[in-house]
A = this chain, B = another copy of it.
């Protein structure tokens, strides 16, 4: 599996020499997940951060009434984990499923700690991508509290421009917190206005 994308992704934030790159790559595991196959199910402990090389993952929880709520998507070049479970090593609440055939590179929590010990600048890389992720969640939370469904939809389109035409409508709907029927009616209205 090509490691060009993950090394390019890291190279945006920290400079690695050839030896450091090779060492980092030696800590990764390759994983292929079929369409609708689970990488992680709720109630289990998350042992890996997953980086999407191709395809797309969907992370979601199921509430007491059986409704799904999408926390995040991980298209090509994005990371995904149940952060609560990964940090605490307690059972999590996130289901991580492949929406289509997905190729992943996995970094185990154990290997991540070894990596931090050997190449401390990876602390910087993970600090920066965690900060970026935090900003996104803060923004999404404020959007959910203060914006209309239409504005939330527009923000979704900005955040995941490559996904808007490829994702099942029901997943986009649960991400922005509306029913699929409401989303369809809204999209029709928006199209008519253009």
Q: Could you tell me which A residues sit within 8 Å of B by CB distance?
A: 61, 63, 67, 69, 71, 83-84, 87, 93, 116, 120-121, 123-124, 126-127, 130-135, 137-142, 144-147, 174, 177
Nearest Cβ in chain B — how far from A84, in angstroms?
5
CB pair A141 B140 closer than 8 Å: yes
Nearest Cβ in chain B — how far from A154, in angstroms?
14
Contacts of A116 in B (CB 8 A): 124
Indicate whether A130 sits within 8 Å of B134 (C-beta atoms), given known contacts A63-B146, A123-B120, A146-B67. yes
**Within the assembled complex, what's the spacing in Å between the Cα atoms of A137 and B126?**
17
Indicate whether A83 sits within 8 Å of B140 (C-beta atoms), given known contacts A61-B146, A120-B123, A127-B127. no
Contacts of A93 in B (CB 8 A): 142
- The contact of A144 among B120, B138, B144, B174, by CB within 8 Å, is B144
Indicate whether A131 sits within 8 Å of B87 (C-beta atoms), given known contacts A120-B120, A124-B123. yes
CB pair B71 A131 closer than 8 Å: no
**Within the assembled complex, what's the spacing in Å between the Cα atoms of A177 and B177?**
14
Indicate whether A127 sits within 8 Å of B134 (C-beta atoms), given known contacts A67-B146, A142-B61. no
Contacts of A121 in B (CB 8 A): 120, 123
CB pair A69 B137 closer than 8 Å: no
